[in-house]
Structures are given as structure tokens and as C-alpha cells.
């Protein structure tokens, strides 16, 4: 899965195909890319889900958004995924384009698996329920023209706090280095299992990030009487307008993402390197 909008993603995907084709490897891909790749044993499918279902592992070539999107398809079919960074930061990528020479290790099982938790997110609106999955986070925020939102938070069915803020973030440990970090939240080792709540610009000196255990169920809904614009966004991809009687319920999913690690760089070393890149 390459992201055609990322610089050199198609080119690097072709390099991956060329390298692994030497070992008689077959590939699956979304039919949208049929015009971009003419060399290699490639089968094209009408959607990503079918392409993943017919594979042994997934290689996502792009930025974090591409890798996160494909990681959820991989988790659905319990397939391991390798992220190749063609984006700006690439927190969830394990390989840079300069490291593609390591790819043959995939074929002899010379790699480690890094398991990451997912959030199961239920959006309840007008008696209808939709369930989605988040690898990074769920954000509940104000609309573009509204003032700060007023949100009630319940833990395992019991009210715990109201927030007046620009919004709140519910993040996985993987997502702790994304929006939550920018909002002042802590960095959490990705192997841990917990749910992180971080308020965004709260109207209180004492509103800080809170960690919940991984067996918690956290529910967010508009404060009674609050009727201005609120939006819930899952991994920065899917967005929902939240009305006064709607709710967002978040808990740990039974699915996990299995990231392939061809390099053994320490998480904190990766974090330091990536954050230093942001300063440049």
C-alpha cells in the first residue's frame, strides 16, 4: 500500500517489489494502483481489505496516516505490518527508504513483532451505533466557530469530571506521541496497555492528563444543556458531528496491530531522533 500523494512513495514501492521479486515473492495491491506498477507478480483487488486478506503480511509506504490506515486492515485479518517512511516524521514506521536492503529478512523470519493496542470506539447517535477502531486517538473538539466545549466524562458508567476546554483526546500509548503530546500529554511506552485522556487547552489550572487501565470504558458526552458544535474524529480520518444527546464510548479493542521490526532501535532513541527532526 503506497500513498501516491507522498513524495517518492510509488518509486519506493516499486523498489520494494523489485527487491522481493528476486526471491519469487507475489504481491497483492488495490486496483487503483494497477496503472502505476507493471513489473512484478502483482494481483490487484477491488479494495484494501481483500488485498490484505490474500496476503501474508502488509507493507505500507507513506507517512504515519498511511501506516495507521493500513494497520487497522492488517489487525482485522491478524496480519503483521511493516511501515516504510515516506512522510515527514514517521513515528510508526520501522524502515526508512535508505534501509530497504533489509527487506530480505522478511522472507526468513528474521524480524521481531511489536504488538500495539487499538481502541474500540462506539459512536451513539439518534438510536444508531457505529463502531470504529483507533490506533492513535479519538479527539472530541469544538467546531471552527464555536467557543470552548463543555464535556462530561464517565468511567465505567460513573461520572468523574466535566471539562471546559477546546476538547479532549483519548489516546493509546502509540498515540501518546501524536496530538496528545502537542497538547501537553505524557509519552507512554507503546508496549504498555492503558488509555490516556488529555484535555486540549482546558479552562482550568488543574486539568491534567489522566491514565486509565486497559479494562476501562470511558464515555464522553456533551454537558447537559450544551448545544454548540462538537466533532469526534478517529485517527484524524473519520469525523462525526456530535449532538447534545449523542455519546462516544471508548475501550480497548480485542484486536491488536502487529508491527514488524526489522531494526532494533530503542523507542526513546527513535522518539529523540524524530522530535529533533521536527525542530529542523
DSSP output for the chain: -B-TTSTTHHHHHHHHHHHHHTTT--EEEEGGGTTT--SSSEEEESSHHHHHHT-S-EEEEESHHHHHHHHHHHHHTT--EEEEE-SSS-TT--B-GGGGGGGGGGGGT--EEEEEEEEEEEEEETTEEEEEEESSEEEEEE-SS---EEEEEEETTEEEEEEEESEEEEE-TGGGGTHHHHTTPPP--TTS-EEEEEEES-SSTT---EEEETT-EEEEEEPTT--S-EEEEETTTEEEE--TT-EEEEEEEEEEEEEEESS---HHHHHHHHHHHHH-
pLDDT band at 279 (very low <50, low <70, confident <90, very high): low
Q: What is the pLDDT of residues 101-132, one digit of tens each?
A: 999 999 999 999 999 999 999 999 988 999 99
Look at 53-57, 71-75, 275-279 and tell me which has the smallest mean pLDDT.
Answer: 275-279
Does one domain contain both 50 and 136? no
Q: Which domain range does residue 42 map to? A: 9-111+262-279
Does one domain contain both 199 and 155? yes
Q: What is the pLDDT of residues 225-240, one digit of tens each?
A: 888 889 999 999 999 9
Q: Structure pTM?
A: 0.91
Does one domain contain both 50 and 100? yes
203 lies in some domain: yes
Q: Say how many domains are in the chain.
A: 2
Catalytic residues: 64
pLDDT band at 91 (very low <50, low <70, confident <90, very high): confident
Does one domain contain both 196 and 274? no
The CATH number of residue 244's host domain is 2.60.200.30
Amino acid at each position: 500500500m503506497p500513498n501516491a500523494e507522498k513524495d517518492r512513495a510509488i518509486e519506493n514501492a516499486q523498489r520494494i517489489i523489485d527487491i522481493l521479486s528476486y526471491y519469487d515473492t507475489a504481491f497483492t495491491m488495490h486496483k487503483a494502483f494497477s496503472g502505476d506498477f507493471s513489473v512484478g507478480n502483482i494481483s490487484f483487488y477491488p479494495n484494501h481489505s481483500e488485498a490484505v486478506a490474500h496476503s501474508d503480511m502488509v507493507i505500507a509506504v507513506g507517512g504515519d496516516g498511511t501506516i495507521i490506515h493500513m494497520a487497522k486492515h492488517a489487525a482485522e485479518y491478524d496480519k503483521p505490518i511493516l511501515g516504510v517512511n515516506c512522510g515527514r516524521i514517521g513515528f510508526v514506521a520501522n524502515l526508512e527508504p535508505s534501509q530497504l536492503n533489509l527487506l530480505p529478512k522478511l522472507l526468513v523470519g528474521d524480524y521481531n513483532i511489536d504488538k500495539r493496542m487499538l481502541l474500540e470506539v462506539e459512536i451513539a447517535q439518534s438510536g444508531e451505533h457505529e463502531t470504529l477502531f483507533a490506533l492513535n486517538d479519538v479527539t472530541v473538539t469544538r467546531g471552527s466557530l464555536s467557543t470552548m466545549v463543555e464535556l462530561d466524562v464517565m468511567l465505567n458508567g460513573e461520572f468523574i469530571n466535566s471539562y471546559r476546554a477546546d476538547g479532549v483526546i483519548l489516546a493509546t500509548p502509540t498515540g501518546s506521541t501524536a496530538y496528545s503530546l502537542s497538547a501537553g500529554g505524557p509519552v507512554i511506552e507503546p508496549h504498555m496497555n492503558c488509555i490516556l485522556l488529555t484535555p486540549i487547552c482546558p479552562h482550568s489550572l488543574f486539568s491534567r492528563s489522566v491514565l486509565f487501565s486497559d479494562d476501562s470504558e470511558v464515555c464522553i458526552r456533551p454537558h447537559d444543556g450544551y448545544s454548540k458544535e462538537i466533532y469526534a474524529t478517529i485517527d484524524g480520518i473519520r469525523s462525526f458531528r456530535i449532538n447534545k444527546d449523542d455519546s462516544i464510548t471508548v475501550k480497548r479493542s480485542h484486536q491488536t496491530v502487529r508491527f514488524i521490526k526489522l531494526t532494533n532501535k530503542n523507542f526513546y532513541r527513535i522518539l529523540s531522533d524524530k522530535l529533533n527532526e521536527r525542530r529542523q
